[in-house]
């Protein structure tokens, strides 16, 4: 029986990943701050050992890596590492002590694309604090794997979606009123020509990628993989399909970015800019070939499932 330690396992990915690990017969321990119940309820949690730990505080004290190491894991899955110092601390504690280390990255390791769909081999040109930090972590872990034998694999999701999650909307932000306006036939303004792209992924497909990488460790170690849906969405195409779910034709307007940003809150504008400036469109060919990754959900299917959950909780209109 493989002993797996999951860091951040009560979150959205973990809500699907932990039950998958239990179902596969692994012995699972989840480290959590203890401030939240599992994101998604499942009977598998009764077989999981939960350890309460404050990662930030223990890293500051220099003890977190040792705490993880002393659990005796064969595999460590880190879903909540956001700084190079945090990654380095854990690697130094686990070197020579684990068979496989899997890190949850992001497609934000890429900046604007030159050719699409973007492959893992594309030069890294990240921007923004989150993308830059995640790219630094990726570079460090791959170097540790390829030059020093540390058994790291990196999985890079897109815009995570699914039940219990507000999906990035056709305007590139998280404003649920965009869905209401599409549902009710009201005009929705999109930036520019609405041809920038978003690349969603269902949380369960992200979870699938981790178990697939574990099953194919020999080809996964020392590699990074995009784990997104089979195809990205344009903003306008996305809006048109959402309106169709409500029996409507999308009433869309298109405004130059500087005008459009004045129609929303500064926070919404910042989030939209982050998405359209990246306009992700990522290839999953490598994950298909080496890991056997087969996403169950398209981008639209992942978003629709999220909207169905939100509708059941009266947060967006119910679809036809």
Give the residue numbers spanning the domain of 144. 3-160+200-227
Does residue 238 or residue 11 have the better pLDDT? 238
Q: Are residues 40 and 137 in the same domain?
A: yes
Average pLDDT over residues 258-266: 98
Q: For the chain, how many structural domains are there in total? A: 2
| Residue 26 scores a pLDDT above 90 | yes
- Are residue 193 and residue 208 in the same domain, yes or no? no
Residue 97 sits in a domain whose CATH number is 3.40.50.720
Does residue 169 share a domain with residue 20?
A: no
The answer as to whether 28 is a domain residue is yes
Q: What does pTM read for this prediction? A: 0.97
Same domain, yes or no: 267 and 121: no
For the cut 80, the answer to whether the pLDDT of residue 36 exceeds it is: no
Question: Could you tell me the CATH number of the domain that includes residue 185?
Answer: 3.90.25
Give the pLDDT confidence of 140-192 residue by residue, as tens digits: 999 999 999 999 999 999 999 999 999 999 999 999 999 999 999 999 999 99
In this structure, the answer to whether residues 194 and 243 fall within a common structural domain is yes
Judge whether 285 lies within some domain.
Answer: no
Task: Say if residue 215 is in the same domain as residue 77.
Answer: yes
178-204 pLDDT, tens digit per residue, is 999 999 999 999 999 999 999 999 999
Tell me, yes or no, whether 291 lies in a domain. Answer: no
CB–CB of 12/5 below 8 Å? no
Residues 103 and 124 in one domain: yes
Q: Is the pLDDT of residue 35 over 80?
A: no
Evaluate if residue 37 carries a pLDDT over 80. Answer: no
In a domain, 108, yes or no: yes
- Do 25 and 92 lie in one domain? The reply is yes
- pLDDT tens, 99-131? 999 999 999 999 999 999 999 999 999 999 999
Do 55 and 142 belong together in one domain?
A: yes
Please tell me whether residues 194 and 256 are part of one structural domain: yes
Looking at the structure, tell me whether residues 193 and 244 fall in a common domain.
Answer: yes
Q: Are residues 236 and 263 in the same domain?
A: yes
């Amino acid at each position: 029986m493989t002993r797996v330690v999951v860091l951040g396992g009560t979150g959205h990915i973990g809500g699907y990943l932990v039950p998958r690990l239990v179902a596969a017969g692994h012995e699972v321990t989840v480290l959590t701050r203890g401030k939240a119940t599992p994101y998604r309820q499942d009977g598998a949690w009764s077989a999981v050992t939960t350890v309460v730990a404050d990662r930030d505080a223990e890293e500051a004290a220099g003890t977190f890596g040792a705490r993880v190491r002393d659990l005796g894991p064969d595999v460590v899955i880190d879903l909540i590492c956001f700084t190079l110092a945090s990654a380095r601390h854990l690697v130094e504690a686990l070197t020579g002590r684990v068979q496989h280390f899997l890190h949850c990255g992001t497609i934000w390791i890429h900046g604007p694309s030159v050719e699409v769909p973007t492959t893992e081999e594309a030069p890294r040109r990240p921007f923004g604090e989150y993308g830059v930090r995640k790219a630094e972590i990726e570079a460090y872990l791959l170097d540790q794997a390829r030059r020093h034998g540390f058994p790291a694999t990196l999985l890079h999701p897109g815009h995570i979606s699914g039940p219990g999650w507000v999906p990035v909307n056709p305007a590139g932000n998280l404003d649920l009123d965009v869905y209401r306006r599409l549902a009710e036939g009201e005009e929705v303004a999109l930036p520019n020509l609405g041809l920038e792209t978003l690349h969603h992924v269902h949380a369960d497909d992200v979870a699938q990628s981790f178990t697939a990488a574990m099953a194919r460790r020999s080809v996964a170690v020392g590699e990074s993989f995009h784990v997104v849906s089979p195809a990205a969405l344009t903003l306008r195409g996305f809006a048109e399909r959402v309106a169709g779910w409500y029996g409507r034709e999308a009433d869309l307007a298109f405004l130059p970015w500087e005008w459009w940003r004045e129609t929303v809150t500064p926070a919404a504008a910042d989030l939209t800019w982050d998405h359209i400036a990246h306009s992700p469109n990522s290839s999953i060919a490598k994950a298909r070939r080496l890991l056997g990754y087969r996403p169950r959900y398209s981008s639209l299917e992942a978003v629709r499932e999220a909207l169905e959950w939100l509708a059941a909780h009266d947060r967006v209109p119910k679809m036809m």
